Amino acid sequence: MPKKTSVMTAIPYVNSTPHIGNILTTLSGDITARFLRLKGADVLFQAGTDENGLKIKDAAASAGQDVNLFVSNIAQRFIDVFEGMKISYSSFVRTSAPVHASAAREFFSRLMDAGHIYEGVYEGWYDVSTETYFKAEDLIDGKSPDGNEVRWVSERSFFFRLSEFQESLLGAYSSGALRVVPETRQNEVLSFVKQGLRDVCVSRTNPGWGITVPGHDDQVIYVWFDALINYLTACGWPNEGWKDMWPPVVQWLGKDILTRFHATLWPAMLMGAGLFDSTPERPFSVVAHGWILLGTEKISKSKGNSVEPMPLCADLAARAGLSQDMSVDALRWYLASTMSFENDSTFTYEDFDKTYNSDLANDLGNALNRALSMAHKFLGSDGQGALVPNAPVLSEALEAVERAKSECESAMQDFRIDRYADSAISLIRYLNKAIDTWAPWSLAKTQDQSLGSVLRSMLYCLRSAEALFRPLTPDASDAIAKQLGCPPLIDWNMVGQADSLPEGTALSIPVPLFPRLETPTKPTQEKETKVDKPIQASEPPVTEIIEFPDFMKVKLRVARIIEAEKIEGSEKLMKLQVRIGEESRQIVAGIAKKYLPIDLIGRQVIVVANLKPAKLMGHESQGMLLAADDVDGSPILLQPESEAPEGTLVH
């Protein structure tokens, strides 16, 4: 039977619309859960919404809505966004639900019965925005440490004896039974605990919204105290079977709620209730990621500087001409690959576009298109598509896959999703460089017997990358598997096995997953230009004389076509990705009526390398191909008589 485990994520407040900062925590849990499922685990993945507290009641009042209707409407927004972002949760906890209220009261009662909760009077400052109590010495210029306004509160409350658990917490951290990632955050937590823990207020006067304290209907459980218990609710506690999923392999959260709550209060609560079941071999792991900044400020609903995920995906889909599923995967990739742990990350639309182009359009998309196109070109015959050749995978490809797989596993042991993404795409970058080194076009021309092994190695790397990318970009991985003619690779043990890509498998025609993103422009009609426009044979020859220095201004170089696709809406324009030495360029050429994309991959051509970029149907062309005229005026591409080093100057 698969090993049971659980992955937990901090639940966001339902006081506004979700943004990419909220998504980062839940997405991290999703990536972890998907990886563990690849490894064969039976994973309970929890998500949810935090719906209690005075802040929620105030937000509902400001909106002029009944609080129940208010939280239900916004909770549904989070559910819609989570599902839109392909968050594969298996348990969704709403803290206003009766099942959670019952669990929270039971937990509270057990702490009371054990003597860990007592009644007293609280006097101090309360930050409604973060639902946090502060002493006078904690305030900065009359505000909370987060810069929020505070209210003076004096009321009868219940207190949790957090001070009694200081040594137990330090002991758990010292033994490794309790662990915070990254280590710098754990050091911050240890410093906080060693300064001395104070008992904390865990109830408030009932404002008409919240979970009432057992036996005291005039009190509600403090929102942070009740919200933490949602992790147990997700496992079905206190009913039978909950231990199968406890403790979680990881709890994901943002750095702002780490020290006071998830790394001190929550484990102490579990210790008090007798539920802290962790060892150095299976530690209670809490992972705190950095914030996403927009400019110099944290992305925040309350500050009004939110970046909403689904509109961002829809905009990318429209600008790049890709499906909604692929645009969601693009955002998932961006958030995962740029995730910050020790510091914060800054979101800009320019960086989002750049990451999309460089990682997905250029690296992943280019590798898929090149490998499949060459397989069809060099293995297909009589109008039939190509089959995976019966040839051994090259040893260096086997080593590259095993290295990337090992690095991915190592990254996930430390829950470093950014490093996992880097290890996954390293295999794709290896493949792109290897194709240039292996030069299958040259092997085909000389009928070299190693061509089959080279082509299978290229396809083998793609098949392996499909699985490595799967936790990050599940729909793109499915699409890669489909183009390889295989079912999705969902068994980690099969990654790197030759059987994962059986010989004789029929390959599909390549379809670009992530079209390169152009600078947005208004649609224009296709214009006749001098770029790649063949001179009609009936026109008189050119007689204008130029000086040699004028000719020397034109830089002609040898380039290799590495990707080709027809431009939608045009009969003659073809968008090409070419390599000139170490540089990659995009060139738009009017050759689509004469040449098929699959026939161009790997071909060497001559380009004008210093031509000012131009736009054709909204696509930037960064050079021009040289072509002669056929008798019917169609283009004949010029190329070296024999293979020449890419980037070689033509003179």
pLDDT band at residue 547 under the 50/70/90 scheme: confident
CA distance linking residue 75 with residue 94, whole number of Å: 8
Question: What are the backbone angles phi and psi of residue 382, rounded to the nearest 5°?
Answer: 50, 40
Structural domain includes residue 303: no
pLDDT band at residue 303 under the 50/70/90 scheme: low
Does residue 554 surpass a pLDDT of 70? yes
pLDDT tens digits for range 175-208: 999 999 999 999 999 999 999 999 999 999 999 9
Counting the structural domains of the chain, the total is 3
Question: What are the backbone angles phi and psi of residue 363, rounded to the nearest 5°?
Answer: -80, -65
Residues 124 and 45 in one domain: yes
pLDDT tens digits for range 13-59: 887 778 998 899 999 999 999 999 999 999 999 999 999 988 888 88
Is 580:624 a contact under the CB 8 Å cutoff?
no
pLDDT tens digits for range 466-512: 999 999 999 999 999 999 999 999 999 999 998 899 999 999 988 88
pLDDT tens digits for range 599-649: 788 788 999 998 889 888 888 899 999 988 876 678 888 988 766 777 888
Residues 321 and 293 in one domain: no
Which of 298, 327, 360 is the last residue before a domain boundary?
Answer: 298
What Å distances lie between residue 436 and 397, 399, 440, 452, 601, CA to CA?
A: 14, 18, 8, 16, 12
Residues 337 and 274 in one domain: no
Is 276:286 a contact under the CB 8 Å cutoff?
no
Structural domain includes residue 457: yes
pLDDT band at residue 304 under the 50/70/90 scheme: low
Residues 275 and 364 in one domain: no
**pLDDT for 56:** 87
pLDDT band at residue 520 under the 50/70/90 scheme: very low
Residues 568 and 487 in one domain: no
**Residue 153 or 195, more confident:** 195
DSSP string, 110-147: HHHHTT-EEEEEEEEEEETTTTEEE-GGG-BTTB-TTS
Q: In this structure, what DSSP letter does residue 162 have?
A: G
Which of 298, 319, 342 is the last residue before a domain boundary?
Answer: 298
Structural domain includes residue 535: no
Residues 272 and 162 in one domain: yes
Residues 235 and 341 in one domain: no
**Tokens 């397989």 — which residue?**
375
Residues 64 and 186 in one domain: yes
Is 262:226 a contact under the CB 8 Å cutoff?
no
CA distance linking residue 235 with residue 42, whole number of Å: 13
Structural domain includes residue 574: yes
Which of 267, 298, 329 is the last residue before a domain boundary?
Answer: 298
Residues 324 and 290 in one domain: no
**Residue 532 or 493, more confident:** 493
Is 194:427 a contact under the CB 8 Å cutoff?
no
The CATH number of the domain where 560 resides is what?
Answer: 2.40.50.140
Residues 38 and 71 in one domain: yes
Domain that holds residue 360: 309-500
**pLDDT for 524:** 33
pLDDT tens digits for range 212-250: 999 999 999 999 999 999 999 999 999 999 999 999 999
Structural domain includes residue 129: yes
Residues 263 and 315 in one domain: no
Structural domain includes residue 579: yes
Does residue 455 surpass a pLDDT of 80? yes
Residues 78 and 201 in one domain: yes
**pLDDT for 617:** 85
**Which residues, listed in sequence order, are joined to residue 205 by a DSSP beta bridge?**
219
Structural domain includes residue 122: yes
What mean pLDDT value characterizes the chain? Answer: 90
Is 429:423 a contact under the CB 8 Å cutoff?
no
Structural domain includes residue 520: no
CA distance linking residue 3 with residue 7, whole number of Å: 13
